[in-house]
């Protein structure tokens, strides 16, 4: 039996906002000047209940992007079938603008770290990630976006840079890219690579959404905390990329 074809991503241009609980009333009671909203998928992957109804009500007025934090596309254990089924049900109901998750792993042998853990950028990891993305896209019936992570450690023995990994991942799996500009800056500062080389190296034609956010400075490195204003200096003002949607988280 042939595999189901993933739906292509429809071109879209606009500014979005990460929809969080403090925003619900405002979005439900009046028109907010954004082109779409982004929600954390896992917060709504339950049948019925008030959160799901709120999302349906918001969706009636705004396109919605579903952004996941626990698919674990880098897990050597493979993907969780029950998770994919719940996400597919949400996708079918909401008909989202984008469906995305992170280039990371969160699970091993049934244990969840509840954190976005980094991957070694090796050929072996690339094959694993692409196989998992392929399974997810088949299960969801659509093309996914994968976000570049912020990282605080790096593995020895890498076969490629992170941007080369992303380029190969998109080419092999057919997925799109959610480019988090803040994460590029955070990781570049922490690991000492050139953020401009990174931005020049990612497959621009695969970028469908961009994340903008703020970060905090720890004792020895930058931390992707999303609790500061979006920087307006350096890398964040020098990027030029053809994308379909920008969202502030």
DSSP string covering 64-133:
EEEE-S---TT-TT---HHHHHHHHHHHHHH--S-EEEESSEEEETTEEEEEEE----SHHHHHHHHHHH
Identify whether 194 is part of a domain: yes
| Average pLDDT score over residue span 153-182 | 94
pLDDT value at residue 212: 85
In a domain, 7, yes or no: no
212 domain residue, yes or no = yes
- Domain of 44 in residue numbering reads as 15-248
Across the range 175-198, mean pLDDT stands at 91
63-67, 144-148, 158-162, 239-243: range with lowest mean pLDDT: 239-243
Could you count the other beta carbons within 10 Å of the beta carbon of residue 44?
21
Does 247 have pLDDT greater than 80?
Answer: no
Rounded Cα gap, residues 93 and 190, in angstroms: 40
d(CA 73, CA 80): 10
Is the residue at 4 inside a domain? no
- 5 assigned to some structural domain: no
Q: What is the pLDDT of residues 97-120, one digit of tens each?
A: 999 999 998 866 675 657 788 999
Q: Are strands 222-223 and 216-217 parallel, antiparallel or unpaired?
A: antiparallel
Given this model, what pLDDT does residue 229 score? 73
pLDDT of residue 6: 61
Q: How many domains is the chain built from?
A: 1
**Structure letter (DSSP) for residue 10:** P
Instruction: Supply the DSSP symbol for 234.
Output: T
* Domain assignment of residue 52, yes or no: yes
Question: What does the alpha-carbon distance between residue 228 and residue 236 come to, in Å, rounded to a whole number?
Answer: 14
- pLDDT score of 235 more than 90: no
Assess if residue 6 is contained within a domain.
no
Quick: pLDDT tens for 188-234: 888 888 999 999 999 999 999 999 877 667 677 666 767 767 776 55
Beta bridge partner(s), residue 36:
16
pLDDT at 12 over 90: no
Q: Does residue 239 register a pLDDT over 70?
A: no
Distance CA 237, CA 131 (A): 35
Q: At what angle do helices 81-94 and 49-59 cross, to 10 degrees?
A: 40
In a domain, 3, yes or no: no
pLDDT of residue 117: 84
Decide if pLDDT at 139 tops 70: yes
Instruction: Find the distance separating the first CA and the last CA of the chain, reported in whole Å.
Output: 41
Instruction: Look at residue 122 in the predicted model and tell me its pLDDT.
Output: 97
Residue 110 CB contacts under 8 Å (≥ 6 apart), including other chains? none
The CATH number assigned to the domain holding 49 equals 3.20.20.150
User: Which of 178-187, 220-229, 236-245 reaches the highest mean pLDDT?
Assistant: 178-187
Residue 74 vs residue 226, higher pLDDT: 74
Type and span of the H or E element at 36: strand 36-40
């Amino acid at each position: 039996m042939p595999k189901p074809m993933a739906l292509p991503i429809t071109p879209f241009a606009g500014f979005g906002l990460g929809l969080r609980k403090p925003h619900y009333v405002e979005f439900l009671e009046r028109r907010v000047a954004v082109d779409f909203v982004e929600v954390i998928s896992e917060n709504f992957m339950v049948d019925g209940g008030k959160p799901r109804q709120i999302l349906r009500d918001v969706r009636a007025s705004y396109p919605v992007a579903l952004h996941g934090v626990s698919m674990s596309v880098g897990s050597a254990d493979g993907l969780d079938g029950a998770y994919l089924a719940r996400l597919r049900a949400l996708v079918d109901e909401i008909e989202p603008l984008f469906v995305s998750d992170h280039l990371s792993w969160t699970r091993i042998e049934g244990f969840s770290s509840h954190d976005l853990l980094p991957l070694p950028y090796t050929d072996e990891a690339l094959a694993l990630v692409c196989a998992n993305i392929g399974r997810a896209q088949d299960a969801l019936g659509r093309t996914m976006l994968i976000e570049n992570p912020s990282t605080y450690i790096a593995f020895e023995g890498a076969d490629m840079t992170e941007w080369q990994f992303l380029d190969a991942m998109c080419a092999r799996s057919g997925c799109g890219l959610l480019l988090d500009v803040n994460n590029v800056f955070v990781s570049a500062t922490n690991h000492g690579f050139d953020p401009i080389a990174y931005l020049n190296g990612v497959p621009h034609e695969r970028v469908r959404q961009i994340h903008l956010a703020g970060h905090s400075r720890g004792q020895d490195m930058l931390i992707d905390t999303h609790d500061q204003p979006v920087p307006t200096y350096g890398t964040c003002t020098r990027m030029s990329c053809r994308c379909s949607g920008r969202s502030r988280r």
